[in-house]
Structure 1
Amino acid sequence: MSGIKNKAAPWWLSGPALLLFTALLLVPLLLTAVLSFNVYDPATGPKAGEFTLEHYAHVFTDSYYHGIFWRTFWISALVTLICVVIGAPEAYVLSRMRNPWRSILLLVVLAPLLVSVVVRAFGWSMLLGPEGAVNSLLGLVGIGPVKMLYTEIAVIVALVHVMLPFMVIPVWTSLQKLDAGVENAALSLKASPFTTLRRIVLPQVMPGILSGSLIVFGLAASSFAIPGLLGGRRLKMVATVVYDEYLSELNWPLGAAIALTLLAANLIVMLSYNRLVEGRYKKALG
């Protein structure tokens, strides 16, 4: 009897969390999936009980949506790459610093998370505008006004600013497990700093880079506020299109179909990337 109780204990302990997860995530996701198959009538709206694949066919065959998905994913991939290039060395420097400078730099890294994303987007719109600080500095070196606002440049810069902490923190956490003595031992055995970084440090931080990349890519691909405020009405990404379908066109089934397509595409890209990087990580360790 005690064995049965011991086996059931984990389920009783995790039961409330599972119920909350089901109520807040799985049920709305299921309702959205059902909605995406509903027939849509422009006069009356979605028709409950009548189902069609028309919305998914529209998304997969229309070149307009192909362009939007392509823009969303290449911007997200570029933002992820920039965050890796900037965030990994920043985390390495952070892990080697001593207090109080470590705490100060950590606060600087986390500072973007303390400000509303809308406020940050408006701040970047002021900096990147035709008469903003960036164009003023470019004018001092003889470069004419550069159109950055309502372009991919503005969206990428703002997304990197927002997403960078999500890269720095996982890499920094991985570096906490690395003993500095191992690096010193490699250097004492005549290994070059580059070889030490490649053979000792990089394999240890790969889990952090992997998790940070997945977080950054997923958040960037589904971001709404920054593309909506800095990309304008013409530079659309998937999240802004879903918003338009729900609140402007009132075509909820099509909006749900686009949202679920984005979710499926995100999962495919992230799982493929996870498998690729994990395979190389295990190969490097083995």
Structure 2
Amino acid sequence: MSCSRSALPYWLASPGMLMALAFVALPLMIMLSLSFYSYLPGGAVSAQITLGNYTDVLSDSYYYSIFARTFGMAILVTALCIVIGVPEAYVLSRLSPRWRAISIVIVLGPLLVSVVVRTLGWAILLGNEGVINKTLMELGLIDSPIKMMFTFGGVVVAMVHVLVPFMVLAVWASIQKLDPATEQAAESLGAGLLTIMRRIVFPQVIPGVLSGGLIVFALATSAFATPAIIGGRRLKVVPTTIYDEFLGNLNWPLGATLAVVLLVLVMGVSMGINRLVERRYKQVFQ
């Protein structure tokens, strides 16, 4: 009887594990194996195993620039989401229950809309004939439209709007565990708002900032719809390059290689940052 009880959690988790194996692990294994084959003209795949795809990716400056642009964009988007999301989550936690419920709906409402629809909305705003340029021209602030579409800045702005709710959710969950008495004690000792945020609130919500930052970073590096619509075909990032290799050039092995390299880099950066922040976090509070 004891053996069956000890095995019960595994039996309950087995459906989810099988689903993860079928829809996550197995496709990743297929993609990894595909990256070791070579491409034949016409869209065929050779049966000969080779490391040539990895050699091409790791030795070509063209791919280096694409990866640098992708990770630079992801880092900037993550930093902006932290700057916006942490104060926003703090304000949400201090609102009355009624206004908090309304504010949460406003913050999380965009998640209920497709990312493609939201990105197309930004395309309408940022275009040469868009709302922003027309408004600025009617006010006499500019004489000609400002180029915001198909630019790095336009992609970053749209990505921040898409991903900042994830940061707010992660930080807000950490803020719920804070003891308001610590802030009241600091205020009674003469500490200002900025000092309270820097010395008391922010150090205690580092786990939420870390988890939210890792989520935003991973989603930003793998985002396809927003860079494809706002950035266009000239502003290449890794996901759009993978799409072009798979469906444009029919070079499936090279596309799989780029996907594997991106996955390894994202996992490496995420694990490294996690270890670094956790180590400093323990040093501060030991």
Aligned to 1:5: 4
State the TM-score, normalizing by the size of structure 1: 0.95
CA drift at 1:136: 2.3
Aligned to 1:98: 96
Q: Give the paired residue count.
A: 284
Alignment gaps of 5+ in structure 1: none
Alignment gaps of 5+ in structure 2: none
Matches within 5 A, 1:40-119: 40-43=39-42, 45-48=44-47, 50-119=48-117
CA drift at 1:259: 0.5
Take 2:280 and 2:51, find their aligned partners in 1: how far apart are those partners? 39
Matched-pair contact (CA < 8 Å) for 1:82–1:160: yes
Take 2:167 and 2:156, find their aligned partners in 1: how far apart are those partners? 15
CA drift at 1:141: 4.7
Matched-pair contact (CA < 8 Å) for 1:175–1:205: yes
Q: Which amino acid is 1:195 matched to? A: T
Aligned to 1:216: 216
Aligned to 1:22: 21
Take 1:195 and 1:82, find their aligned partners in 2: how far apart are those partners? 21
Q: Which amino acid is 1:269 matched to? A: V
Structure 1, residues 81-127: CA drift from partner, whole Å, max 9, x if none?
A: 00000110000000000122111111111121111111111111111
Q: Which amino acid is 1:93 matched to? A: V
Take 1:147 and 1:44, find their aligned partners in 2: how far apart are those partners? 37
Q: Which amino acid is 1:47 matched to? A: S
CA drift at 1:38: 1.1
State the TM-score, normalizing by the size of structure 2: 0.95
Matches within 5 A, 1:74-223: 74-139=72-137, 140-143=139-142, 144-223=144-223
Take 1:141 and 1:215, find their aligned partners in 2: how far apart are those partners? 41
CA drift at 1:164: 0.6
Take 1:21 and 1:54, find their aligned partners in 2: how far apart are those partners? 30
Q: Which moved more, 1:109-118 or 1:239-248?
A: 109-118
CA drift at 1:13: 2.0
Identical positions, percent: 52
Structure 1, residues 153-196: CA drift from partner, whole Å, max 9, x if none?
A: 11101100000100001101111111212211222233333332
Take 2:75 and 2:119, find their aligned partners in 1: how far apart are those partners? 20
Take 2:69 and 2:32, find their aligned partners in 1: how far apart are those partners? 24
Take 1:197 and 1:44, find their aligned partners in 2: how far apart are those partners? 57
Q: Which moved more, 1:163-172 or 1:17-26?
A: 17-26
Take 1:177 and 1:102, find their aligned partners in 2: how far apart are those partners? 17
Aligned to 2:231: 231
Matched-pair contact (CA < 8 Å) for 1:203–1:285: no
